[in-house]
Chains A and B, each alone.
Chain A
Amino acid sequence: NAGVMQNPRHLVRRRGQEARLRCSPVKGHSHVYWYRQLPEEGLKFMVYLQKENIIDESGMPKERFSAEFPKEGPSILRIQQVVRGDSAAYFCASSPRSGENTEAFFGQGTRLTVV
């Protein structure tokens, strides 16, 4: 009965390195959503994926950021050549469908620190 699982909980990267954030949705959920939270701000939508498809990436920065949700395994948010401004908490949510969901459960987040 696990909820949305994200790992790692904390990630430290030096400028220029790559960061990989993983999200395992609730069992049976085929839709995943990634959000970013800067300090003292609300969450900002980044990308919405269904298995093997990107549905909406309107919130993703055009460069260095990519996301995937393969047929098997967790969803991955990948940040290449990280910069200090990428330091934030990254949250993932999942849903069983794309409709009018009445619940939206988030993982515990990954806190990325770029030094």
Chain B
Amino acid sequence: AQKITQTQPGMFVQEKEAVTLDCTYDTSDPSYGLFWYKQPSSGEMIFLIYQGSYDQQNATEGRYSLNFQKARKSANLVISASQLGDSAMYFCAMREGRAAGNKLTFGGGTRVLVKP
């Protein structure tokens, strides 16, 4: 079974609108962390936001927020007020266990294209 599933290969979003990127995960470890990354066409991996499995509140970082639904094993990324510069690939990733450090499992990604 896939550990991290991103079911949307690509999405269009109108500038200034919000967009939700889906991510579901599969783990039996009670301690895990969920990460989202942005990869623009230039290729670098830009860390956006983190959610720990024991965190009581949804993580937020500026225009990024994470809709964490633990029972559903989902960790959707919400980008509010989309900008043209948000056009990129977005990856969800998971760390399992307490000693894994930065050993992450990545999903296949979602390509977002922001339209003016």
Residue numbers of A with Cβ under 8 A of B are 31, 33, 35, 41-45, 48, 56, 89, 91, 93-95, 97-106, 108-109, 111
| A residues in contact with B18, CB < 8 Å | none
A-B Cβ contacts below 8 A, count? 75
- List 4 additional contacts besides A95-B102, A98-B101, A100-B95; criterion CB under 8 Å: A31-B102, A43-B45, A101-B101, A109-B44
| A residues in contact with B108, CB < 8 Å | 41-42
Query: Do residues B109 and A42 form an inter-chain contact, with CB atoms below 8 A?
Result: yes
Query: Do residues B103 and A33 form an inter-chain contact, with CB atoms below 8 A?
Result: yes
> Which of B44, B104, B109 interacts with A104 by CB under 8 Å?
B104
Query: Do residues A102 and B106 form an inter-chain contact, with CB atoms below 8 A?
Result: no
* Chain B window 33-72, contacts with chain A (Cβ cutoff 8 Å), 1 for yes, 0 for no: 1010100000111010010100000000000000000000
CB distance from B35 to the nearest CB of A (A): 6
| B residues in contact with A44, CB < 8 Å | 106
Taken together as a complex, chains A and B put the C-alpha atoms of A100 and B34 apart, in Å, by: 11
> Main secondary structure on chain A at its contact with chain B?
strand
| B residues in contact with A95, CB < 8 Å | 101-102
Query: Do residues B44 and A103 form an inter-chain contact, with CB atoms below 8 A?
Result: no
| A residues in contact with B8, CB < 8 Å | none
* Known contacts A89-B43, A100-B52, A105-B47; A43/B101 CB under 8 A: no
* Known contacts A43-B106, A100-B31, A102-B52; A33/B43 CB under 8 A: no
* Chain B window 76-106, contacts with chain A (Cβ cutoff 8 Å), 1 for yes, 0 for no: 0000000000000001010100111111111
Query: Do residues A106 and B44 form an inter-chain contact, with CB atoms below 8 A?
Result: yes
Indicate the member of B45, B47, B91, B109 with the most A CB atoms within 10 Å: B45
Taken together as a complex, chains A and B put the C-alpha atoms of A101 and B31 apart, in Å, by: 12
Taken together as a complex, chains A and B put the C-alpha atoms of A97 and B43 apart, in Å, by: 26
| A residues in contact with B95, CB < 8 Å | 100-101, 104
| A residues in contact with B50, CB < 8 Å | 102-103
| B residues in contact with A89, CB < 8 Å | 43
Taken together as a complex, chains A and B put the C-alpha atoms of A35 and B109 apart, in Å, by: 15
Query: Do residues A98 and B100 form an inter-chain contact, with CB atoms below 8 A?
Result: yes
